[in-house]
Amino acid sequence: MKKLLTLFIAFAMILTSGIVVADDDDCDCGPGCTEDCPECPPYSDLYTVDVDTKVTIAGSPGCNPGTGGPAGWENPIIKAKWEVTDTDMNDDDMVCYGTQVAPVIGGDKLVHYYAIILQRSAEIHSAYAYVWHPDCTYKYKVPLSPLGVSDGQLAWDKVKTNNPTVICYNDGYDQAEIDIEIADYLNCYVYHGCEEINYCQPGGCYKVGVRAFDGMAWSESLWNTFWYIPTAAIEVDFSTVNYGNAVTVGTNTWRDGNLVWGDNIPTVRNYGNVPVDLKVLQDDMMFAKDSTGAWNVEFDARLGPSGGTTHTYVPYCEYDQWPNGGTEADATFFGTLEVCTENKLDFSIHIKEAEPCATYQGHMTLFALRHGAPPYTTPEFNEITGEDLKDTMPPGIPLPPCCDAVGVPGTGDCGCGC
């Protein structure tokens, strides 16, 4: 009876509320209206209700992932795994033992992830490769799907024939045993997935763990690594530095860059997968030396906003001797450009002696040298394109054995490879 009364009161309140709401006529008050006009209420076309959701996944008694199901249950096993960078597994990027992935300068490289998975007590529901950056931050999850009988056999035959050193075997398994199971397809399947790796992902040793789920429990993860070759590279949007057409001798004349790409005003982009130190080398632009042997011209360079650190340098050689064996060791450092970033370049000239109305020309070389050594810090996003470089880490996935925590490299063994 109390419940019915409560409902009745609520309903009565709604009716009462409806009586006092102004209708269209109440709101139709124009000039000369002498009665009090009620304020028209705003429309409310949307109403939302939040509710909680909950689900519990089937699993072993006690719900300990990876421990298996009822008595006698046998978990799936990752027997072997590997990565390559092209579909036929003829990886021309490998330069030593293990998988070597060369970046596409300013672009993306497709990496293929393979695993041989043995299903035992139940069919495999899902399988994934979890990929981690060299600094132990999470990169992404790659879904793996089973290949057909012929495609699986072809993938296995090619990798063991062309690039056997990239295969990581689980403890207790070898090529001979897998040969038999693959040939007979005795619940042992080749899984495959692929995903791009961006030039902004830092070079170094990437950790890859594969595991599979059979509806009751996850398999143990099998870990290996591949080497994303650290590569220094830059691109600029200018081909000439024109210091001006009416430069005054004895003054320091600047020509500033900008952050607009493609307008021939100096801008530089880091198109490699490592931070780079920028250095510059120039000839004397035909200004030559004075009677004491001092250069008649000197230069400045700086990276970034005006007011930043300015680096002054003199010519390396005379115009007609360029480049005369000049290397990065002879060049002047003027800034470090981080991965995935762009910035403006400013250059200046200070002429000490010259002929009036004469035009001088010369050569300049910009060097980009790899700064530091892996592991490099992984940026959150690509400053140039705005692309996110890290995925949100799924809950409950295992850390690589060589990472003490997310973003904290340790000293443990990552497994085979690298």
pLDDT band at 93 (very low <50, low <70, confident <90, very high): low
Shared domain for 124 and 265, answered yes or no, is no
Shared domain for 138 and 179, answered yes or no, is yes
Model pTM? 0.81
Is 12 a member of any domain? no
Task: Give me the CATH number covering residue 281.
Answer: 2.60.40
Instruction: Average the pLDDT over 177-196 and give the result.
Output: 90
Mean pLDDT is lowest, of 22-31, 127-136, 312-321, 359-368, for: 22-31
Shared domain for 224 and 340, answered yes or no, is no
pLDDT at 9: 34
pLDDT at 283: 96
Shared domain for 170 and 255, answered yes or no, is no
Shared domain for 82 and 212, answered yes or no, is yes
Question: In terms of pLDDT, which residue wins out, 33 or 368?
Answer: 368
pLDDT band at 198 (very low <50, low <70, confident <90, very high): very high
Shared domain for 249 and 116, answered yes or no, is no
Is 392 a member of any domain? no
Task: Tell me the three-class secondary structure of the chain, residue by residue.
Answer: CHHHHHHHHHHHHHHHHHHHCCCHHHHCCCCCCCCCCCCCCCCCCCCCCCCCCCCCCCCCCCCCCCCCCCCCCCCCEEEEEEEECCCCCCCCCCCCCCCEECCCCCCEEEEEEEEEEECCCCCCCEEEEEEECCCCCEEEEEEEEECCHHHHHHHHHHHHHHCHHHCEECCCCCHHHHHHHHHHCCCEEEEEEEEEEECCCCCEEEEEEEEEECCCCECCCEEEEEEECCCCCEEECCCCCCCCCCCCCCCEEEECCCCCCCCCCCEEEECCCCCEEEEEEEECCCCCECCCCCECEEEEEEECCCCCCCEEECCCECHHHCCCCCCHHHCEEEEEECCCCEEEEEEEEEECCCCCCCCCCCCEEEEEEECCCCCCCCCCECCCCCCECCCCCCCCCCCCCCEEECCEECCCCCCECC
Is 166 a member of any domain? yes
> What is the domain count for the chain?
2
Is 188 a member of any domain? yes
pLDDT tens digits for range 73-89: 899 999 999 999 975 45
pLDDT band at 72 (very low <50, low <70, confident <90, very high): confident
Is 192 a member of any domain? yes
Shared domain for 178 and 321, answered yes or no, is no
pLDDT at 95: 52
The answer to whether residue 2 scores a pLDDT higher than 60 is: no
Shared domain for 336 and 286, answered yes or no, is yes
Instruction: Average the pLDDT over 78-106 and give the result.
Output: 77
Is 62 a member of any domain? no
pLDDT tens digits for range 17-65: 333 343 444 445 445 555 555 555 555 555 646 666 665 555 544 444 4
Question: In terms of pLDDT, which residue wins out, 64 or 93?
Answer: 93
The answer to whether residue 368 scores a pLDDT higher than 70 is: yes
Q: What is the percent of the chain where pLDDT is above 90?
A: 67
pLDDT at 254: 95
pLDDT at 37: 53
pLDDT at 1: 44
Is 268 a member of any domain? yes
Task: Give me the CATH number covering residue 207.
Answer: 2.60.40.1930
pLDDT at 273: 95
pLDDT band at 238 (very low <50, low <70, confident <90, very high): very high
The answer to whether residue 339 scores a pLDDT higher than 70 is: yes
Shared domain for 307 and 205, answered yes or no, is no
What residue numbers bound the domain in which 113 lies?
77-230+377-386+399-409
pLDDT band at 348 (very low <50, low <70, confident <90, very high): very high
Is 290 a member of any domain? yes
pLDDT at 243: 95
pLDDT band at 337 (very low <50, low <70, confident <90, very high): very high
Shared domain for 249 and 221, answered yes or no, is no
Average pLDDT taken over every residue of the chain? 84
Shared domain for 216 and 355, answered yes or no, is no
Shared domain for 200 and 278, answered yes or no, is no
Q: What is the percent of the chain where pLDDT is above 70?
A: 80
